[in-house]
Amino acid sequence: MPVRRFVIIGPARSFGQPAPQSTPFAETYATEDPVQQTARALAHELGLPCVSPGAGSVLRLLAAAGSAKAVVEIGTGTGVSGVWLLRGMRPDGVLTTIDVEHEHQRIARRVFQEAGFAPSRTRIISGRALDVLPRLADGAYDLIFVDADTTEFAACTEAALRLLRPGGVLIVNGAHANGRISDPAARDVDTLTIRETVKAIRESEDWIPAVIPSGAGLLTAVKRS
Ligand SMILES: C[S@@+](CC[C@H](N)C(=O)[O-])C[C@H]1O[C@@H](n2cnc3c(N)ncnc32)[C@H](O)[C@@H]1O
DSSP letters along 52-119, please?
A: -HHHHHHHHHHHHHTT-SEEEEE--TTSHHHHHHHHHS-TT-EEEEEES-HHHHHHHHHHHHHTT--G
118 falls within a domain: yes
22 falls within a domain: no
Is the CB of residue 49 below 6 angstroms from any atom belonging to ligand 1? yes
Pair 155, 116: CB distance under 8 Å: no
Q: How many domains is the chain partitioned into structurally?
A: 1
Long-range contacts: 199-202, Cβ < 8 Å, 24+? 200/154, 200/157, 201/157, 201/170
Distance from the alpha carbon of residue 79 to the mean position of ligand 1, in angstroms: 10
Q: What is the pLDDT of residue 4?
A: 42
Distance from the alpha carbon of residue 76 to the mean position of ligand 1, in angstroms: 6
Kind of pairing between the strands at 94-99 and 207-212? unpaired
Pair 81, 59: CB distance under 8 Å: yes
Query: pLDDT (tens digit, 9 = 90+) per residue, 172-187?
Result: 999 999 999 999 999 9
CA 59 – CA 15 distance, rounded (Å): 29
Nearest-CA residue for ligand 1 atom 22 is: 99
Query: pLDDT (tens digit, 9 = 90+) per residue, 29-46?
Result: 999 999 999 999 999 999
17 falls within a domain: no
Q: Write out residues in the chain with pLDDT < 70, as ranges.
A: 1-22
Q: Is the pTM of this model over 0.85?
A: yes
Q: What is the pLDDT of residue 94?
A: 99
Atom of ligand 1 nearest to the CA of 39: 9
189 falls within a domain: yes
Strand order of the sheet with strand 122-126?
A: 122-126, 94-99, 70-74, 141-146, 164-173, 218-223, 207-212
CA 2 – CA 18 distance, rounded (Å): 30
Q: What is the pLDDT of residue 22?
A: 63
Distance from the alpha carbon of residue 105 to the mean position of ligand 1, in angstroms: 10
116 falls within a domain: yes
49 falls within a domain: yes
196 Cβ neighbours under 8 A, 6+ residues apart: 154
Atom of ligand 1 nearest to the CA of 104: 27
Q: What is the pLDDT of residue 9?
A: 37
Q: What is the CATH number of the domain that holds 41?
A: 3.40.50.150
Is the CB of residue 32 below 6 angstroms from any atom belonging to ligand 1? no
13 falls within a domain: no
Pocket test residue of 35, 50, 76, 87 for ligand 1, highest count of atoms within 8 A of CB: 76
CA 169 – CA 93 distance, rounded (Å): 15
Is the CB of residue 148 below 6 angstroms from any atom belonging to ligand 1? yes
Q: What is the pLDDT of residue 1?
A: 39
12 falls within a domain: no
Domain that holds residue 207: 32-223
